[in-house]
Amino acid sequence: MLIFYLFCVTMICRAIENNYTEMNSKELIHDNKNIVYQRVWEKIRLRVKTSIMKNGGKLGNLNVHFKLICFFSIVCSSVWIAWSTNIFWLSCLATIITGVFLLLLVINGAHDASHGVLFRSSWANTFYLISSFALLGIDGILWKLRHIQAHHRNTNVHNVDPDIMENIFLRLSPTHQYRSHFRWQAIYAPFLYLIALPHTFLVQDFEHLALRNLPYIKKIPNFKVAWLRALSLKLIPFVVFLFVPAIIFQFDLIKSFAVFFFSQVSASLFFVWTVSLNHFVVGTEFHKQEPGGNWFNRQRLASADWNGDSYFYVWWMGGANAHLAHHLFPGVSHRHLVQISKIIYEECDSVGLSLLKFRFWEGVQSHYKLLNELGKGKSNLI
Ligand SMILES: [Zn+2]
């Protein structure tokens, strides 16, 4: 009996000791990892600060402003050609160009303006933000609120990040409830993507204002003003793209409507097949709730880059493709993002931290793969 008793006591003590050692080593590994993340982040921050100071500060410069003037001139010329020409293919081409460059005005300018770094003056940033978004029928002030207060702070967090709101059409996160029709989503998603911007224009702002339990919506100081502003800004595309050509310049109303609608479609496709690669590819992390932990590491795991170190693509996309750099340094003009991306890549590489970065077509394939996996109900991506 005594031997059996001593045997039991010894086994229990060993089990407790093993468990304690295991817990301690897990905590130690966790702490060590956090120390590595923090060190890498501090090194990156220091190098980026020096690089920005060397290159003239965090704000947009004349090159950025000149680019926006060129893009705006392209929009004006192409929409005029689309309205006025009788050559069908030329009208179609001009319509597509109008949509793409309307979106580029937002991606290159309004996004930086929302972060307060397009111009020095906050009035100029707000003016650019509202007017460029208004051409697409989107309330820029509301967009800024959801982008900064919700998306940047709670990237890929279920029903807090407005970019992954649960819906019955697409399952974009493993945290979303599974429905049987999602198994076809990889096939029908490209058709839904055609109307991504008309949906934002006609539905999303109102839907978010009506769903007041969204955390970022609760920060709106005056709801009456917000509704009034959203409603008035929706009228602007109708005035610019229907009233002006049909009533003032006497162009055909149906043609004007076609130019308006198909420019929105081309802008939608351009938007989805570029910007959606930033957070919706295989490997990005999604969370049911705010995960805590090291902030730099969370950004590293929630954002993806495509051609993030390419001067051309970063110039063209206003840095939206150098997305990790933007999420780590949101208060810096996109003109610095190639340099910042290179610093991030070097520092992460030096300690073996993997990053989600790929070429454009690899990103498109990865987005499709994610749609397919989520459509099959896979939820092991969290
Ligand atoms: Zn941003």
Q: DSSP for 296-339?
A: HHHHHHH--EESTT-HHHHHHTTTTTSHHHHHH-TTS-GGGHHH
Under 8 Å between Cβ of 330 and 152? yes
**How many angstroms does the Cα of residue 37 sit away from the middle of ligand 1?**
22
Q: What is the pLDDT of residue 46?
A: 96
Find the mean pLDDT for residues 323-337. Answer: 96
**How many angstroms does the Cα of residue 330 sit away from the middle of ligand 1?**
6
Find the mean pLDDT for residues 312-321. Answer: 96
Q: 334 Cβ partners below 8 Å, 6+ apart?
A: 60, 64, 108, 111, 112, 314, 318, 319, 320, 322, 326
Find the mean pLDDT for residues 6-19. Answer: 57
Distance CA 200, CA 161 (A): 15
**How many angstroms does the Cα of residue 323 sit away from the middle of ligand 1?**
8
**380 confidence band (pLDDT: 50, 70, 90):** very low
Find the mean pLDDT for residues 134-159. Answer: 92
**How many angstroms does the Cα of residue 197 sit away from the middle of ligand 1?**
18
**How many angstroms does the Cα of residue 279 sit away from the middle of ligand 1?**
12
pTM equals 0.86
Residue 350 has pLDDT above 90, yes or no: yes
The more confidently predicted of residues 212 and 377 is 377
Q: What is the pLDDT of residue 378?
A: 66
What are the sequence ranges of the domains in the chain?
62-268
259 is written with which tokens? 């130019």
**How many angstroms does the Cα of residue 111 sit away from the middle of ligand 1?**
6
**How many angstroms does the Cα of residue 258 sit away from the middle of ligand 1?**
32
Burial of 31 (0-12, 13-18, 19+ CB in 10 A): exposed
Q: What is the pLDDT of residue 162?
A: 84
Q: For the ranges 176-180, 255-259, 356-360, which has the lowest average pLDDT? A: 176-180
Q: What angle do CA 337, 120, 319 make, to 5 degrees?
A: 20
**Run of H or E including 133:** helix 122-134
The more confidently predicted of residues 220 and 102 is 102
Residue 54 has pLDDT above 90, yes or no: no
**How many angstroms does the Cα of residue 254 sit away from the middle of ligand 1?**
37
**How many angstroms does the Cα of residue 332 sit away from the middle of ligand 1?**
10
User: What confidence tens digit (pLDDT) does each residue in 171-191 have?
Assistant: 989 989 889 999 999 999 999
**How many angstroms does the Cα of residue 148 sit away from the middle of ligand 1?**
7
Query: Up-side HSE of residue 325: CA atoms within 13 Å toward CB?
Result: 33
Q: For the ranges 81-90, 171-180, 208-217, 321-330, which has the lowest average pLDDT? A: 208-217
**How many angstroms does the Cα of residue 312 sit away from the middle of ligand 1?**
20
**1 confidence band (pLDDT: 50, 70, 90):** low
**How many angstroms does the Cα of residue 60 sit away from the middle of ligand 1?**
15
Q: Which long-range contacts (CB under 8 A, 24 or more apart) does 218-221 make?
A: 219/145, 219/149, 220/142, 220/145
Residue 20 has pLDDT above 60, yes or no: no
Phi, psi for residue 157 in degrees, rounded to 5: -95, 130
240 is written with which tokens? 């610019």
**How many angstroms does the Cα of residue 335 sit away from the middle of ligand 1?**
14
**Run of H or E including 193:** helix 185-193
**How many angstroms does the Cα of residue 300 sit away from the middle of ligand 1?**
15
Residue 2 has pLDDT above 60, yes or no: no
Nearest to 346 by CA among 46, 57, 58, 53: 46
Question: Would you report the helix, strand and coil content of the chain in percent, each value rounded to 5?
Answer: 70, 0, 30
**How many angstroms does the Cα of residue 188 sit away from the middle of ligand 1?**
28
Find the mean pLDDT for residues 50-72. Answer: 94
Distance CA 119, CA 200 (A): 26
**How many angstroms does the Cα of residue 143 sit away from the middle of ligand 1?**
11
**How many angstroms does the Cα of residue 266 sit away from the middle of ligand 1?**
22
**How many angstroms does the Cα of residue 110 sit away from the middle of ligand 1?**
10
- Report the helix count and the strand count for the chain, using DSSP H and E: 16, 2
**Run of H or E including 305:** strand 305-306
Nearest to 365 by CA among 277, 296, 286: 277
**How many angstroms does the Cα of residue 115 sit away from the middle of ligand 1?**
7
**How many angstroms does the Cα of residue 48 sit away from the middle of ligand 1?**
18
Residue 115 has pLDDT above 80, yes or no: yes
Q: What is the pLDDT of residue 11?
A: 61
Distance of CA 19 to the CA centre of its chain: 43
Mean pLDDT taken over the chain = 89
**How many angstroms does the Cα of residue 220 sit away from the middle of ligand 1?**
19
332 is written with which tokens? 């810096």
